[in-house]
Amino acid sequence: MIPRISPGKTWEGFVGAILTSLVISVAMTWAMGSRIHVISFTDSIILGLLLPLVSVLGDLAESAVKRDASIKDSGRSIPASAARST
């Protein structure tokens, strides 16, 4: 998608994420039926399209920050002792 920020991300993966999210969102809304009154079929479509978009944008933003800070693995950037104290 944006090779200078995150070379491993592809447009095919992005489209696959959107389609998968959309199918799962609609299927869950259909399967839950009347048990969930607050989410309509239209809402499930909107969520199925919006959530993967926000997720990919967040992942690209994290990749840009990591690239700028020259960090390969962000999981190791927080010391274990700091993670345990929270």
Q: Where are the domains of the chain?
A: 11-72
Is the pTM for the entire model greater than 0.75?
no
Containing 80, the helix (H) or strand (E) segment is: helix 80-84
State pLDDT tens for residues 13-39. Answer: 889 989 999 999 999 988 988 787 788
Decide: 11 and 3 in contact? Cβ < 8 Å.
no
Q: Report d(CA 9, CA 57) in Å as an integer.
A: 11
Encoded tokens for 58: 């967040």
Angle at 11 between CA 56 and CA 76, to 5 degrees: 40
Q: 30 or 76: which carries more pLDDT confidence?
A: 30
